[in-house]
Amino acid sequence: MEQQRQKRCTSSLTAPPGTDMGLVLGPHDANLRLIEGLFSARVTVRGDRVSFEGPGAEVEVLQSLFSEMFRQVAAGEAPNGASIRRFARLIEASDLSPAQLREDVLYSRGAVVVRPKTAGQKRYADAIRTHTVSFGLGPAGTGKTYLAMALAAAALERKEVGRIVLARPIVEAGESLGFLPGTLTEKVDPYIRPLYDALFSLVGPDRARRLIDSGAVEIVPLAFMRGRTFNDSFIILDEAQNATPEQLKMFLTRLGFGSTMVITGDDTQFDIPRAASGLAGARAILEGLDDIAFCDLSARDVVRHSLVARIVAAYERTGERG
């Protein structure tokens, strides 16, 4: 393998007819300059032909990268620094190719198509599909909740489950619910709003409201789940780091027949005053049990603005909580 990496070779690709090479290379060739900085191999562009010269392994990666960029442009997308860096991280971290991620469609409805974008997200999605209970652990922007929601929506539309149940702990961060204006529903709404937003972006606001009104989607504060059992359901607990050990145990024991559970959270960000986070100790208690998976996502899996990944990495290096 090392000899393959060191062996130099040359290769070339020709863009499909009609490809806008300006979009491929980026404004003022910004994409090309970035690629030249990420790889030691030489990249030469002449019209619609791209040539590579360098270590064999890098040339193979660059061929895959430019093929993916050609595909993005053909699909009406514009390759950018974030997508190129994500590709480079993907190749470095695993044997997965962009084609393997692209072929794994988690949810599709109209113009909305949800796929894993990193190797970590792929492993997370696979774990949810093959386990009854899955934990998605990692920083903001890694798609923990959104990917789980996409799989839940797909399961509902395929009639694999009868309903989706979305839960969140209601934790006050410096301002008591009692001092907020309005009814209990109005007081709780700001805490639940991120779940509504994710649902709306997947199925559209009108369909989301119909699903909620019909009971096919239920969004509830964690504390209101006590005493219930959820059969034939896809159940997601979001922000689980803000659940106490007792609350997390209560949630897990709501599991009924024919159901799937996903618990997401980041144990470096919790707002529980004078109490321990149930998420922090769950792994020591549950890891190793059959049909329970723990999936760790990291700064490599952040798919928001590229600066978010660097912020997360900076906090991880210092060990400070966010």
pLDDT tens digits, residue range 192-246? 778 888 899 999 999 999 999 999 999 888 888 999 999 999 999 999 998 989 9
- Taking only the tens place, the pLDDT of each residue in 78-93 is 999 888 887 776 666 5
Q: Using CA atoms, how far apart are residues 168 and 170, in angstroms rounded to an integer? A: 6
Report how many helices (DSSP H) and strands (DSSP E) the chain contains, helices first.
13, 11
Greatest distance between any 2 Cα atoms in the chain = 69
With beta carbons less than 8 A apart as the criterion, state whether 231 and 278 touch.
no
CA distance 220 to 232: 17
Residue 200: both structure tokens together: 């709306």
Strand, helix or coil for residue 115: coil
What are the residues facing 200 on neighbouring strands?
Answer: none
Q: Which two tokens stand for residue 249?
A: 């145990």
Residues of the chain with CATH 3.30.1370.10: 2-101
Q: Could you tell me where in the chain the CATH 3.40.50.300 domains are found?
A: 106-318
Closest CA to 120 of 304, 307, 306, 298: 298
Domain covering 2-101 in this structure, CATH number? 3.30.1370.10
Q: DSSP secondary-structure letter at 203? A: H
Confidence tier at 97 by pLDDT (50, 70, 90): low
Q: What is the pTM of this model?
A: 0.69
**254 SS3 class:** coil
Name the amino acid, one letter, at 111: A
* Residue 238 and residue 264 in contact, taking contact as beta carbons nearer than 8 Å: yes
> Top-level CATH class of 106-318?
alpha beta
Give per-residue pLDDT as tens, 1-38: 344 445 678 889 999 999 999 999 999 999 999 999 88
pLDDT at position 285 over 90: yes
Q: Which residues neighbour 97 within 8 Å (Cβ) at sequence distance 6 or greater?
A: 64
